[in-house]
Structure 1
Amino acid sequence: MKILIIDEMHPSIVEMLEMDGHQVTYSPKITRSEILEQVAAYDGLIIRSKTPMDRELLEKAINLKFIGRAGAGLDQIDLDYLVERRVKLFHAAKGNRDAVAEHAVGGLLALFNNIIKADGEVRKGIWDREGNRGHELMGKTVGIMGYGNMGKSFAKRLSGFGVKVLAYDKYKLEFGNELVQEVMWEKVKVEADILSIHVPLTPETRNFFTLDELESFAKPFWLINTARGEVISFATLNAALDRGILRGAVLDVMENEKFQKFSPEQKTEFEKLAARSNVIFSPHVAGWTFESYEKINKVLVKKIKKAFED
């Protein structure tokens, strides 16, 4: 098949696809207008998240047999139209699940032990032991919302910390095991000391975490979000932190990840959030390791080969 790669990928993917007999065009700098002009000639597209796979683009892809998403999120893809066209969709959540899980644990430990704050103070000659007294993870109850590849991998990483792990997934059943207790959402809200979000962005999850939803938790808790920023707004985070509903947050994702496109309200709320020592940010890199960069290729190529081997 003729395959067009429109985003930066680990270079190994070209050789891997060519070894399976495909003709590959690697064009990571290609613009949307250029894709629209060229896409009709290709059987497959491999993408990240730079260019939305909307109906306008997909209608031009008259020979398209598959899209390979180098990552987990599918929110920028017109899934209904792919079904209508019978275009196969592959994504590579298994390729970066370990990276996301490790990042979530690392962020949580950094937050609990004031690592960022303490490091900054020591570099300035401030030796404040009491002001940087931390919390232990041992004995806490960790709630997981969404028990797919990422949630499951996160639960596995927690197994040595002496925590109780509760997981809720609206679309999965009977996944409880020795690592995790499958529960209803209400039980997570009653017991969780920590909540880690591992859900995709859908109309159902967008802005799911309103202030009312957070207030319905039985006790103050720490929040980890390595999923999608749009599930909770800057304003909601600030209000919950101000009221003591949230004790702190680890945020790898934000409701708007383009600083230059912040609305005036987003700018004000983000600046307030950024001034807090109990909030840790990272630039959507939880799944962005050197190892996952290559693992994603292997997962995608394996799925493509299996789907079309007949």
Structure 2
Amino acid sequence: MRILIIDEMHSSIIPMLEKDGHHVTYSPKITREEIIEQVGDYDGLIIRSKTPMNRELLEKASNLKFIGRAGAGLDQIDLDFMAERGIQLFHAAKGNRDAVAEHAIGGLLALFNHLIQADSEVRKGIWDREGNRGHELMGKTVGIMGFGNMGEAFAKRLRGFGVEILVYDKYKQDFGTDRVQEVIWEKLKAEADVLSIHVPLTPETRGFFTLEELKSFHKPFWLINTARGEVINFKTLNDALDLGVLKGAVLDVLENEKFQKFTSEQKEEFEKLASRGNVIFSPHVAGWTFESYEKINKVLVKQIREAFGKSKS
């Protein structure tokens, strides 16, 4: 098959596909206009998140058999139109789930133990032990919203910490074990000390966490979001932190990740959020490790091979 790669990928993807007999065009600097112009010549597309895979583009993809998404999120892909056209979708959530899980644990431990604040103070000659007294994860109840690849990997990493794990997933049932308790949303809200979000961005999850929703938790809690920033906005986070509804937050994703395109309200609310010592940020890199960069390729190539076999050309 002829395969077009439109985003930066680990270099191993090309020989892996060529070994199976495919003809690969690697064009990470290609523009959307050029993609629309050329996509009709290809059987496969491998993407990250450069440009939306919407009807405008897919209508030009007359020969397309598959799209391979080098990541987990599918919110920029017109899944309904792909189904109409019989275009298969492969995605590589298994390739970066371990990275996401470890990042979430690391952020939570850093938040609990004031590691960023403590490091900054010691570098300035400030030796404040009491001001940096931390919390232990052991004995806490950790709630997980969403039990797909990422949520399950996070739960596995928690097992050695002596915590109770409660999981809510609206679309999965009968996944509970002796270590993971499957619960309804109300029970999770009643008992969680920590909530980690692992849901895709959909019309249902966009803006799901309103202030009222957060206030319906029975006790103040710490929040981890390595999923999608649009599930909770800056103002809601600030209001919840001001009210003590949230004790702190680990945020790998933001409602708007293009600082230069902030609205005036977003700019004001983000600056307030960024001034808080009980909020830890990272630039959407939870799933972006040196290891996952290569593992994603292996996951995608395996799916392509299983669906289409090896080319004879």
TM-score interval (norm. to shorter):
over 0.9
User: What amino acid does structure 1 have at the position aligned with 2:185?
Assistant: W
* Structure 2 match to 1:40: 40
* Structure 1 match to 2:101: 101
| 1:66-145 alignment runs, 5 A limit | 66-145=66-145
Question: What is the distance in 2 between the residues matched to 1:242 and 1:62?
Answer: 53
* Structure 2 match to 1:238: 238
Give the TM-score normalised by the residue count of structure 1: 0.99
* Structure 2 match to 1:216: 216
Which 5+ residue runs of structure 1 have no aligned equivalent? none
Q: C-alpha deviations, 1:78-130, integer Å up to 9, x for none?
A: 01000111100000000000000000000000000000000001111110000
Return the offset for 1:177. Answer: 1.0
Question: What is the distance in 1 between the residues matched to 2:207 and 2:42?
Answer: 37
- Say if 1:221 and 1:246, in contact at 8 Å, map to a contact too: yes
Question: What is the distance in 2 between the residues matched to 1:196 and 1:232?
Answer: 13
* Structure 2 match to 1:295: 295
User: What amino acid does structure 1 have at the position aligned with 2:281?
Assistant: F
Return the offset for 1:260. Answer: 0.2
CA RMSD of aligned residues (A): 0.6
Residue 11 in structure 1 maps to residue 3 in structure 2 = no
User: What amino acid does structure 2 have at the position aligned with 1:270?
Assistant: F
User: What amino acid does structure 2 have at the position aligned with 1:135?
Assistant: H
The structure 1 segments of at least 4 consecutive aligned residues displaced by more than 6 Å after TM superposition are none
Q: C-alpha deviations, 1:135-187, integer Å up to 9, x for none?
A: 00000000000000000000000000000000000000000113210000000
Residue 64 in structure 1 maps to residue 64 in structure 2 = yes
Question: What is the distance in 2 between the residues matched to 1:23 and 1:107?
Answer: 41
What is the identity percentage for the equivalent residue pairs of Structure 1 and Structure 2? 81
1:280 aligned counterpart, secondary structure: strand
Question: What is the distance in 2 between the residues matched to 1:222 and 1:284?
Answer: 19
User: What amino acid does structure 1 have at the position aligned with 2:300?
Assistant: L
Question: What is the distance in 1 between the residues matched to 2:23 and 2:213?
Answer: 50
* Structure 1 match to 2:178: 178
User: What amino acid does structure 1 have at the position aligned with 2:145?
Assistant: M
Return the offset for 1:4. Answer: 0.1
Q: C-alpha deviations, 1:239-283, integer Å up to 9, x for none?
A: 000000000000000000000000000000000000000000000
Q: C-alpha deviations, 1:183-236, integer Å up to 9, x for none?
A: 000000000000000000000000000000000000000000000000000000
Give the TM-score normalised by the residue count of structure 2: 0.98
1:238 aligned counterpart, secondary structure: helix
Question: What is the distance in 2 between the residues matched to 1:170 and 1:70?
Answer: 25
Return the offset for 1:50. Answer: 1.1
1:144 aligned counterpart, secondary structure: strand
Question: What is the distance in 2 between the residues matched to 1:286 and 1:301?
Answer: 22
- Say if 1:156 and 1:179, in contact at 8 Å, map to a contact too: no
Which 5+ residue runs of structure 2 have no aligned equivalent? none
1:60 aligned counterpart, secondary structure: coil
Return the offset for 1:309. Answer: 2.0
Question: What is the distance in 2 between the residues matched to 1:82 and 1:36?
Answer: 16
